[in-house]
Amino acid sequence: MITMGFSIHNPTRLLSTASTTPFGPHQRRRLFLLLACGLLLLLLSAVLDQRWWLLPAALLQIGLGIWLWRAAAPVTDTSTQQAQQALQQIEQLELTRYRQLVQFANDIFSWHAADGSVLYISPNCRRLLGHEPAELLGQNLFRLIHPDDLANVHLARADLLAEGSPVPVTFRIANREGVWVWLEMFARLFQLGEGQTRIVGVCRDISLRRDAEALLRESERFKALFELARDGLLLVDAKGRVVEVNREAARELGYHRMHLIGMPLTNLLAPGNESSQVQRWSDYFQVIQSGQSDLQELSMLCADDHEKWLEALFSPITQEGRPLVLLAVRDISARRSGARQLQESLAALRVLHNRLYGIIEGSSDLIASVDNSFHLIAFNRAFKQTFEQHFRTPVELGVNLLSFVAHDPEQMAQSFLSWQRALSGEVFINIEPLMLAGATREFEVKYSPIRDEVGDVVGAAYIARDVSARLQTERELKLTLEKLDQARQDTENANQQLKLANRELMRQANQDGMTGIANRRYFDEYLAHEWRRAVRQHEPMALIFADVDFFKKYNDHYGHQQGDTCLREVAQALHSQLRRPADLLARYGGEEFVVLLPGTTLAGAMFIADAMRAAVEALKLPHAASEAAPHVTLSLGVASIVPCEAMAEGFLIYGADQALYIAKKSGRNRTHGNPL
């Protein structure tokens, strides 16, 4: 025990001395002898029934008691006083020691009521929190605790009051400047009686420990991210040496990671990087440390001495207070090769462009293109010269072509309809007159849509050729034919036969000769007509593409004649499932059929398509070469859309074709719908 200057070194001995009697050994023997004599007299008087012996025995005992009292009374009082003084000195010593421990300890000692109010707090709160102890007396420290930690503190106080066992709790508390200080508090419960409860707390500043733990977690997180990064990462010090490298960087360069650590970064640069700033590392390191990240493309040497192009990003970083450069590398060899090929392709494309430009510019045809708003986006020399000569107006890029005919409403309407048809996706040819040098020249004009990479119409092309001489020849020929025809009009039979011939010609022009259903040409016209009607009436329109599965193998196995018969039977089966006059079945080409269903949703079209597939399968036409079934089957693709002005019918065709492609890829002999 530390005495701290106190004069009593053995308080136990002092108490022992104060509690003993002042009698010596001889006096104690005499005292015991007298006591024995008194007791013997009392015993003999009781045994011998000699009552007169009781008097001297009683007198002896009384006298002995009076003597003992008189002799021992002052000694006992003195010993008790000395013992009490010793105990008071010990308690004062212990209290002084505890006060010194509380005042000079690094921790904060506090005494609280059950509600948390401060009854006492050690002076060390001045150093840790900046508050004077008197300022906190009677206050509740909950108002200074961080809101995120307040619930934990209340829970710990409730557990302490309920269970009584010591409770540790960690929280943040605001000092006088408003800075959060991390404290760890150990609390113990004391019962003072009469229902009074007190809490003793010892608080320790753990801010440095928390900061160290946060730095450790951050360091571990950095190491994990560094190692698991998909890019190659290297840490380079101020002397240009590699101090750390992850697995991806070692793999990119072909080295073992231990071989790279300590290697100068310049040793990894391939010849040809002499002008790179990396060669002057000291200056470059300072530039990077100033906060300027730098992205370069470097040719670096791998372990097998072959060169690899890497994209290198240099960034400043600090690790454990040490300034470093984080180098992130990524293989761009394929990208550079692709860029080189792209440059070569662009050069070839420029050559092709120049050739096409020369062809277009040297052509006598009038060639131009417009966007969706009828503004010129390209034209050749012949177009410019001819239109300027005809309309007496300069032709420039961005000019609205309809403005050339604004003075003639009828011609303007015709031009608008022609361009609108082309912008809706239609390809057609018109004969249009132009006035040149005071004479009318006739031009055969072909209008066609211009589509982007996804098939959307973004403009229209105009190609016109002077066919005045040809048309004149055709007119003369027609006149001659008319004269010949007039000569043949001698009889009514000749005229009737001519009408029948014309009707048959029209039928053949719109009908497939083998299957007897509509052909591709009639389908295109009908689709354009129905599309415009659906746009006006905002009605849905569905399209079905049907393809005979493995028909080439069918022809190879059964012969083309049997194949033609098969197509005719399939066409009849498909046509049998149509219920409305407006529905059209046409042969689209080869073994492919197309069905146009105006006013039909996707669900209705899917129902008809499934019925068509079942009807063909019900024919049970043998197909030994088919991989889908032992008989002839169909794959069908269905698409439906509500057309609008901004759409072209090609969008519906493309959707049904994609659905047919998916049906084939999914195993054939099935129907697939594509909602648009």
pLDDT computed for residue 76 by the predictor: 45
Are 451 and 466 within 8 A, CB to CB? no
204 within 8 A of 122, measured Cβ to Cβ: no
**pLDDT tier at 13 (50, 70, 90 boundaries)?**
very low
- At 583 the three-state DSSP class reads coil
5-14, 57-66, 554-563 — which one is most confidently predicted on average? 554-563
Q: Give the CA radius of gyration of the chain.
A: 56
- Position 580 scores a pLDDT of 92
Distance CA 566, CA 591 (A): 10
| pLDDT in the model for residue 16 | 41
Lowest-confidence segment of 15-24, 211-220, 355-364, 527-536 by average pLDDT? 15-24
pLDDT band at 17 (very low <50, low <70, confident <90, very high): very low
Mean local confidence (pLDDT), 236-262: 86
> What's the pLDDT tens digit per position in 143-198?
888 898 888 888 888 888 888 777 788 899 888 888 888 888 888 888 776 667 88
What is the average pLDDT across 407-412? 78
Mean pLDDT over residues 477-494, rounded? Answer: 82
- Which of these ranges, 267-276, 335-344, 360-369, has the smallest mean pLDDT? 267-276
pLDDT at residue 634 tops 90: yes
Chain center to CA of 469: 67
Q: Residue 301's CB: how many other CB atoms inside 10 A?
A: 17
Tokens 């961080």 locate to: 146
SS (H, E, C) 132-173: CHHHHCCCEHHHHECHHHHHHHHHHHHHHHHHCCCEEEEEEE
Least confident of 57-66, 334-343, 390-399: 57-66
Nearest to 649 by CA among 530, 510, 522, 518: 530
- Residue with the bigger pLDDT between 228 and 573: it is 573
Give the mean pLDDT of 5-17.
Answer: 37
Query: pLDDT by residue (tens digit) across 229-241?
Result: 778 888 899 888 9
Structure-token pair, residue 522: 């009639």
Task: Put residue 279 in one of left, alpha, beta given phi > 0 → left and psi -120 to 50 → alpha.
Answer: alpha
CB 173 within 8 A of CB 141: yes
pLDDT at site 69: 56
Q: What percent of the chain has pLDDT over 90?
A: 21
For residue 59, the tally of other CB atoms under 10 A from its CB is 12
- Torsions phi, psi for 263 (to 5 deg): -80, 135
Res. 109 pLDDT band, cuts 50 70 90:
confident
Average pLDDT score over residue span 26-37: 62
- Three-state DSSP at 559 gives coil
Closest of 241, 218, 220, 215 to residue 327, by C-alpha: 241
Confidence of residue 583 (pLDDT cuts 50, 70, 90): very high
Find the mean pLDDT for residues 87-107.
63
pLDDT tops 70 at residue 5: no
* Residue 187 DSSP SS3: strand
pLDDT of residue 513: 83
Confidence of residue 68 (pLDDT cuts 50, 70, 90): low
Q: Looking at the DSSP assignment, which residues form a beta bridge with residue 314?
A: 294, 327
Q: What is the pLDDT of residue 656?
A: 94
Beta carbons within 8 Å of 83's beta carbon, 6+ residues apart: 14, 15, 18, 19
pLDDT for residue 129: 84
Higher per-residue confidence, 671 vs 194: 671
pLDDT of residue 266: 84
Number of other residues whose CB lies within 10 A of the CB of residue 197 = 15
Q: Which residue bears the tokens 């004069």?
A: 7
pLDDT range class, residue 609, cuts 50, 70, 90: very high
What is the distance between the alpha carbons of residues 652 and 640, in angstroms, rounded to a whole number?
7
Q: Across the strands, what pairs with 325?
A: 236, 316
Could you tell me which residue, 162 or 507, shows the higher pLDDT? 162
Does residue 2 register a pLDDT over 70? no
Q: Scanning the structure block, which residue is given the tokens 């049997």?
A: 562
**pLDDT of 75:** 44
Segment 189-215 mean pLDDT:
78
What letter would DSSP give residue 270? P
Task: State mean pLDDT over 597-619.
Answer: 94
Highest mean pLDDT among 262-271, 488-497, 521-530: 521-530
With bands split at pLDDT 50, 70 and 90, how would you rate the model's confidence at 1? very low
| Burial (Cβ within 10 Å: 0-12, 13-18, ≥19) of residue 408 | exposed
Contact 325, 278 (CB under 8 A): no
Both tokens of residue 524?
A: 């295109």
Average pLDDT for residues 559-583, to the nearest whole number? 92
Packed helices 551-558 and 560-575: angle between N→C axes, nearest 10 degrees: 130
Contacts of 453 (CB under 8 A, 6+ apart): none
DSSP-derived 3-state class of residue 322: strand
Cβ-defined contacts of 390-394 (< 8 Å, 24+): 390/434, 390/435, 390/436
Close Cβ partners of 550 (under 8 Å, ≥ 6 residues apart) = 623, 625, 626, 627, 628, 668
Average pLDDT over the chain reads 81
Torsion, Cα of 35, 38, 39, 43 (10° steps): 170
pTM: 0.32
Residues with Cβ within 8 Å of 326's Cβ and at least 6 positions away in sequence, in order, are 233, 234, 235, 314, 315, 316, 317
Element spanning 428, H or E:
strand 428-436
Least confident of 78-87, 310-319, 560-569, 584-593: 78-87
In 10 A of CB 233, how many CB atoms?
A: 20
Q: With contact defined as beta carbons under 8 Å apart, do 668 and 648 qualify?
A: no
> Who wins on pLDDT, 522 or 485?
522
Instruction: Yes or no: say if 187 and 167 are a contact pair by the CB < 8 Å rule.
Output: yes
Is residue 202 within 8 A of residue 179, CB to CB? The reply is no
Does position 281 have pLDDT exceeding 70, yes or no?
yes
Among the ranges 197-211, 262-276, 457-471, 591-605, which has the highest mean pLDDT value?
591-605
Mean pLDDT of 27-53: 58
Indicate the pLDDT class of residue 672, thresholds 50, 70 and 90: very high
405 near 399, Cβ under 8 Å? no
pLDDT at 295: 86
pLDDT of 60 reads 60
Could you give the 3-state DSSP secondary structure of residue 127?
helix
With contact defined as beta carbons under 8 Å apart, do 550 and 598 qualify? no
Per-residue pLDDT, 344: 84
Confidence of residue 12 (pLDDT cuts 50, 70, 90): very low
Q: What band does 449 get if pLDDT is binned at 50, 70 and 90?
A: very high
Using alpha carbons, select from 545, 544, 543 the residue that is nearest to residue 643: 543
Helical packing angle, 560-575 and 602-619, nearest 10°: 140
> What is the helix (H) or strand (E) element at residue 180, kind and residue range?
strand 180-193
Mean pLDDT calculated for residue range 245-265: 85
> Is residue 406 over pLDDT 80?
no
CA–CA distance, 594 with 168 (Å, rounded to integer): 82
User: Using CA atoms, how far apart are residues 359 and 377, in angstroms rounded to an integer?
Assistant: 18
CA distance linking residue 67 with residue 62, whole number of Å: 9
pLDDT (mean) for 236-248: 87
pLDDT number for residue 576: 92
pLDDT at 653: 93
DSSP 8-state symbol, 205: E
Cβ-defined contacts of 405-409 (< 8 Å, 24+): none
Report residue 334's pLDDT band, with 50, 70 and 90 as the boundaries.
confident
Q: Is the pLDDT of residue 89 over 50?
A: yes
* pLDDT score recorded for residue 63: 63
State the Cα–Cα distance between residues 417 and 445, nearest whole angstrom: 14
Contact (CB, 8 A) for 3 and 9? yes
Q: Give residue 15's pLDDT band: very low, low, confident or very high (50, 70, 90).
A: very low
